[in-house]
Amino acid sequence: MITDAYTVNQLKKEAPVFGQLSFDDHEQIVFCQDKDTGLNAIIGVHNTILGPALGGTRMYDYATEWDALNDVLRLSRGMTYKAAITGLNLGGGKAVIIGDPKKIKTEALMKRFGEFVHTLGGTYYTAEDVGMETSDMDTVREVTPYVTGISESKGGAGNPSAVTAYGVYMGMKASAKYVYSKDTLEGKKILVEGIGHVGEELVKLVSSEGAQVIISDIDEDKLHKVSTKYNTTIYRGDDFYAETADIYAPCALGATITTKTIDSLKVKIIAGAANNQLENENVHGVSLQKKGIVYAPDFLINAGGIINVYAEIEGYGRNQIIEKTENIYTTTLDILTKAKVLGITTNAAALSIAEERIMNKKMKK
């Protein structure tokens, strides 16, 4: 793996796509631009061996196009493993739209993006992610059938946030079972970073079980709303990661688990909804292992969302959605145990299971 800063910067200039450390044999990358609507988007299709690529569209005001490209590559790769480990017949894909959703998102822009999705002919199905709402998916649906997570009133599975949070909750309880020999979260001190749609739903679940919840977010209005609604504590200290607690739940953007934050962390478990939580999955997975912190792999425990939207493609109902999401509990326990027995990181254990399923399907083709 390349870590030298000069080499990385040179690759950015000389090989801005294939030189990306996160490229990882992506099948297709589509750059989408429309000057009339202001659309600048990237669609990443990582792998379609198990089925069509599925992954949400994220709208975010990235500092650079490089950041946007790196994000879509990391996210689409993660979707491949998320679908594989969950047993879904799906591949991994993702899309990002560059810009502040509060400023540039319009119906015309969303429809134009949907037209780009349609040109892929079903290789990629989009869905809701950060900066998006169910209503946006309804708009995209007007121009392409290759979209999931549309409103229930329109025959869809609706907003996947609640199911995503429920899967994280299952993974968190399984991790507690592994560490504390019982899965109750009552009395546990939980740090929740990021209280968007999924984060708030997770706060609701753990608070109802009697956990002591401390929340952090850049949105002050949301902090006060959630704090009042669920009787949680707003973090006002200088170093959120240094707060002594039982569980850290990253639910904002990814890459919050770094060398610096690992040094600060005083928790036994990391189990959250954010994608790509490890800044470097090889380096930081090992660091967590050495420090004795149990990490519930994010692409496993946040898979409730993809389970929810996959229902629209496969046609199964609410009971099956919940059943498949609850199975995250058992899979998490299996992976934590496997990692311990083999002496490997939990992330590596999860990846090995996902990669084995993909390889088996590839061998049969």
- Residues carrying an active site annotation: 94
Say if residues 251 and 274 touch (Cβ distance below 8 Å): yes
Say if residues 81 and 158 touch (Cβ distance below 8 Å): no
Nearest CA to 300 among 199, 160, 127, 167?
Answer: 167
CA distances from residue 316 to 88, 290, 300, 311, 313 in whole angstroms, order as listed: 12, 42, 21, 5, 8
Residue 81 tokens, joined: 């493993």
3-state secondary structure of 309: helix
Q: Which residues pair with 222 in a beta bridge?
A: none
H or E segment at 197? Answer: helix 197-208
Neighbours of 238 (CB within 10 A): 6
3-state secondary structure of 75: helix
H or E segment at 10? Answer: helix 5-14
Say if residues 198 and 165 touch (Cβ distance below 8 Å): yes
Q: Which residues pair with 216 in a beta bridge?
A: 193
**Amino acid type, 213:** V
For 250, phi and psi rounded to 5 degrees? -75, 120
For 39, phi and psi rounded to 5 degrees? -75, 125
Residue 115 tokens, joined: 């037209």
